[in-house]
Structure 1
Amino acid sequence: MTAETTVDLPARRAGLIRLIGLAGILGGILLIVAAVAVWVAVSTQLRAENIVIPDGAIAFSGKVVDGPIDAYIQADIIQQHALELADGKTYAQLDQDDPRRATVANASFLRASLFTSVVSFGIAALAAGLGVLFILFGLALRGLVPSATA
């Protein structure tokens, strides 16, 4: 048994709700387009660096870094190599006059840059997901309130 309830809205209010729904749909589309643009831009920039995941990485050895998982794996292998070079010590733990300190610092900077790209991919995925939700909410609002011409 289905009970149906109808609510009469003033035309002005119904129009506002439909407008908000349309704004949600358009905003969602904009978020998805921006997310795709960011994903492509970051991926293209990473690929242009021609960073190849070396042997010894946990996965994807020989692959050019161009995505979030690749960047994370490359950052991990850089940390492993830096720790091996510095006998398990981090940059902050090395003596100021240790000749390995500059190399370990560069490794740290490279890892930070790779993690920045991982975060960028994550934010792009979040924006795309929110875009889909905005579109769905916008469609729901517009579906609940019929147009004045219907």
Structure 2
Amino acid sequence: MSTTLSERTGTARVLGLIVLILGAVFVVAGGVTWGAVAANLSAEKISVASDASAFGGQTVNSPWTAFSQAMIIREHSLKLAGDKTYAELGEAISAKQADLKAAGKSADEIAKDADVLKLQNTRSTVATGSFLRASLFTSVIAFGVALFAVGVGVVFALIGWTLMKLSRPAAVATAAAREPVTV
């Protein structure tokens, strides 16, 4: 059974329309996602620290401001912790506790030691900073996914439009019938 040209172009036209609609859905979904993430970040009323390398004092509501705030939180955490990370502070606490234990201190005395308490408080603050940074980076990723969805939507829409455009039957020019010339 053969397929006619009009059946093939009709199928391509329908497929083009479906792909075009999917493209529009992706664009709308990406735009809505971007808006939702921006609105939720704005609702938190976070301002980029004034000593950040960029966007100081601005409200965190975009991937750029979120990234800038995450980077300054890291800088502040490292400064507070004497350039030690959360993991390194844990090692320092363990080492200090081991030294105190070797010196004959009881578990109760070790738990109340000023140096141990200071390290634990610093580690707790650094952990909070790490959680904040992770949340801000998650929003940066969400913005990226939203932008990706918009990009995919635009590509789908262009492909759908192209399929629809190419599925229109081409006009075929026919020559008028001529009468033979007799001499």
Question: Match of 1:81?
Answer: 76
**What fraction of aligned residue pairs are identical, expressed as a percent?**
44
| SS in structure 1 of the partner of residue 139 of structure 2 | helix
Q: Does 2:80 correspond to 1:58?
A: no
Question: Match of 2:151?
Answer: 129
Bigger Rg, structure 1 or 2: 2
1:108 Cα deviation after fit: 0.4
Decide which moves more: 63-72 or 12-21. 12-21
Say how many residue pairs are matched.
Answer: 141
- What is the rounded CA distance, in whole Å, between the counterparts of 2:49 and 2:147 in structure 1? 27
- What is the rounded CA distance, in whole Å, between the counterparts of 2:88 and 2:17 in structure 1? 56
Please, what TM-score do these two structures have when normalized by structure 1? 0.89
Q: CA RMSD in A?
A: 1.7
Question: Match of 2:35?
Answer: 40
Question: Match of 1:30?
Answer: 25
- What is the rounded CA distance, in whole Å, between the counterparts of 1:121 and 1:76 in structure 2? 17
1:142 Cα deviation after fit: 0.8
Deviations 1:25-78 (A, max 9, x none): 100100011011101100000001000111210111110100000000000000
- What is the rounded CA distance, in whole Å, between the counterparts of 2:50 and 2:38 in structure 1? 22
Alignment of 1:75-114 (within 5 A): 75-95=70-90, 96=93, 97=116, 98=119, 99-114=121-136
Moved over 3 A (4+): none
Question: Match of 1:146?
Answer: 168
